[in-house]
Structure 1
Amino acid sequence: MTVQVGDLVARTSYHCDLPFRVVAIHEETKSAELNGHDVRLYADAPLDDLVPVTEDEREQYEKMTSSKEDESYKLFRQDYKQMKMKHGYTATNGYRDQTSYFEMPGRVLHIDGDPYYLKKCLTFYKKLHVPVIGKYIPESEMPDLAPRLVAQIRPDILVLTGHDAFMKNKGTASDLKAYRNSSFFIRTVKEIRYHWPSLDQMVIFSGACQSHFEYLIRAGANFASSPDRINIHALDPVYLAARISFTSFMDRVNVWDVLKNTLTGAGGLGGVESRGMLRTGLPFPSE
């Protein structure tokens, strides 16, 4: 088999557990750099360890993943309807007033180290009706470029994600040098929190698969991955940001309520109690 950039492959040494996209090939070492197809995991592998994912295998995997995404979306819509009813009840004085009202959801800036995932995430933000701006920045460049972008856009919610990996052969789970990109995420959060220190002024999610959760929270992230050093789904940050965007700024965001509808759950994501970002106004402007 001749492996090419863009191919969908699996690793035989891991019993072909996950499909990966080939992002780079190194002929001198006969190895390839890989990004997870649906999980935010970075990996590398010898070329002779890779096998192609057949069309049937790909369709079967995507069907299974799509089913999980649909279920998560369904649960989110149920929560959204409940929040909408609560907002309407509050804005109309218990439905006693007939005044129409409008809502301003929290604005999201999503910075992603993977352009493929960024495009997929933006599609889901649109499906969830979340106001969002998306930018592609490689993880290593985020500490320098992301703070400038935040200063220009001034979002309510910031998502910093991409790919990461915990490499057991380079240290323990508490050793930052054992992580592929966690140090870049941590530095970026620290730089941004220097200028926006309040956890309520801007809600930050940061991390990817197997990222150093504890250091990211200490750096100033409201939410981060990955408490159990497991893989997270590409869309998990989207559902988290959407829940915060549609929660009233008068309400606290219960961490469990946010995580229960993600595809990974509490093992992959965690955080601290935070405030929602939606504001309700009235009256609704007449045309």
Structure 2
Amino acid sequence: MRSSLTNHASSTILLYGFPKIDYEKLDSFLETSIVSGKQLSKDYKFICAHEPWLSGTTDVSDKAEFEDRKTTYNMDDDDDLINWNDKGNITDWFSFDFTLEELRTLKKYQSQNFRDPRYDLQETVVTLDELVDITREFGLEQGRTIGIYPEMKHCHAVNKILQNRNSSVRFEEIVLQTLNDLGFKSNPDPLVLLLERMIEEKDWERIDNLQLAGLGIDKGVLVTPGVPDEEGRGQYRSNTTQFIAKVHEHGLKAHAFTFRNEWMKLYWDHGQDPYR
């Protein structure tokens, strides 16, 4: 299950915990994106949110005390040749400029105006720790294991910001250490880690220590990444990746997400045909 059910604002207790019977209808994993909230100067906590910029899903713009936090960051990836997840310069309020205590003063609302607004502004942010507690509680009640499927969002962009703040640790390292601290150490744990792109070689030792069930990645990066043309009319194939082979080499399962059949998401090489 992905945290995008339309009854409640995404990534809230109301969504993850409503109703418990929904978990009986689901597969065994609950997906969420995680971004960082700045707790003091070095102690980073993770909240569940699709993006680190806040105004599209919270009432942060209504908070006079946070007016001066609005700023601009470049949220591009680290590949000049392929647009993995470029967002460009974004002006907004960002989670990593707030302490967790400050983030908890914000209220969440639906990110899309066609979704049910009845529960808007009732709940605040959810931490990764709280999400893990929810899945373990419901799993215990139902006599089964419910895992989590966290996505590391905008690693390169966040790492640039960390470097500018003279931080000696990378976003990926914080994520992996946090999961280790949350107790994901057994073999195999109910944990699939969702990536934007292949992780760096130096992170594999931490991955192996976590004993994950698997790694997930966008379908467009799984085998043959797509390269869009400059006018955004479509994409063509590029080199073949080693993602599946690398994941299997470490004894993990490979999972792909975001299978879209819109023609603009498909390669010219395949005639932009979803059935080829």
Fold conserved (TM > 0.5)? no
Between 1 and 2, higher relative CO (CA 8 Å, sep ≥ 6) is seen in 1
Q: TM-score, normalised by structure 2?
A: 0.31
Q: Quick check: which has more Rg, 1 or 2?
A: 1
Q: TM-score, normalised by structure 1?
A: 0.30
More helix per residue: 1 or 2?
Answer: 1
